Amino acid sequence: MSKLVKVEGYKQLLTPTQTEQGIKLIKEFFQVNLSTALRLRRVTAPLFVLRGLGINDDLNGVERPVTFPIKDMGEQTAEVVHSLAKWKRLMLGEYGIEPGYGLYTDMNAIRGDEELDNIHSLYVDQWDWERTITAKDRNLDFLKKIVRDIYSAILRTEYLVHETYPNIKSFLPEEIHFIHSEELRQMYPDKTPKEREDAICKKYGAVFIMGIGGKLGDGEVHDGRAPDYDDWSTPNSDGFKGLNGDILIWYPILNRALELSSMGIRVDKEALLRQLELTGKEDRKNLYFHKKLLNDEMPLSIGGGIGQSRLCMVLLQKAHVGEIQASIWPEDMRKECAAAGMPLI
């Protein structure tokens, strides 16, 4: 298990019963704070969607969705969602949600191609959210405001955990630092993107890295992003590109940066066409989702996902996400984790 990190001297701060109670506490409290801060209503979401409509999230474009045939629909193929990035935007239109308001839901996904380690599992659970905006909101200042609102909800939840379990000490900084991925590359030109994340998060404690998906000055991308939901190619006032990003924190238990959320202002018609051309995905223009967007049949929006198990792992100060969620793990990983004081559920 070369990817497994075993933390020297690690001991769980909570009993199994306290851990389950803590998970419930975090999930209930955080979603109320998130929905209040961003004015979101809760909706019910699908576990799977039909293949060929362009609704499923393509992530980095290489992950294979879990599929199955539908007997009562002529053996049409359904795909277990990777995320609900596009589905949520469709629902904003379906529900007629006005600018300044939005929706959130529990997203459950299966990612069979995930490389399993302390922070990645086959099972993904997120609070997926989406909010209707206007054209004047499609700017960096508005993006930063929403990021600060989300981060404030995380801080309030961290404080509640400490009040409930005093042996869990708060460690997140009061403010989140903003930086564009190109600025980050220029600061650390000899480091890989992940090494840059570690360096900047260790310095500031909490960081929002912007412009995820577009090519940087060296011709590489900081990280992959599908071309048809986040807007990562629109120039901003600093001359850089991108109206999206990731919320990351420095996690002292694992001594590394940890992503808690991926989010962004979504593509408008112009950004969609530009990014499809940049990535050679222009054939997607004929898919259901993309045609609705190109025909102005979908609202402008901002949205993202916040990892539920990941947030619980951080706030309960666990060393492995398998201490938070029930999933499938290689048997040798289970044995190594048990021996290292982090038994997996």
Candidate list 182, 228, 231, 246, residue with the active-site label: 246
**Among the listed residues 264, 297, 272, the one whose alpha carbon sits nearest the alpha carbon of residue 137:** 264
Is 317 one of the catalytic residues?
no
220: Cα within 13 Å, side-chain hemisphere: 11
Whether the CB-CB separation of 7 and 154 falls below 8 Å is answered with no
Exposed/middle/buried for residue 53 (C-beta within 10 Å: 0-12, 13-18, 19+): middle
Q: CA-CA distance, 55 to 59, in Å (whole number)?
A: 12
Cα 3 from chain centroid?
21
> Helix, strand, or coil here: 247?
strand
In the block, which residue shows the tokens 């090494």?
195
Q: Is 57 a catalytic residue?
A: yes
CB 231 within 8 A of CB 272: no
Active site residue 111: yes
**From 259, 274, 284, 327, active-site residue:** 259
**Active-site annotation holder among 121, 181, 233, 262:** 262
Q: Is 259 a catalytic residue?
A: yes
Find the catalytic residue in 57, 58, 130, 182. 57
Q: What is the rounded distance in angstroms from the CA atom of residue 343 to the CA atom of residue 345? A: 7
Which of 35, 83, 111, 261 is catalytic? The answer is 111
**Positions marked active-site:** 57, 111, 126, 246, 259, 262
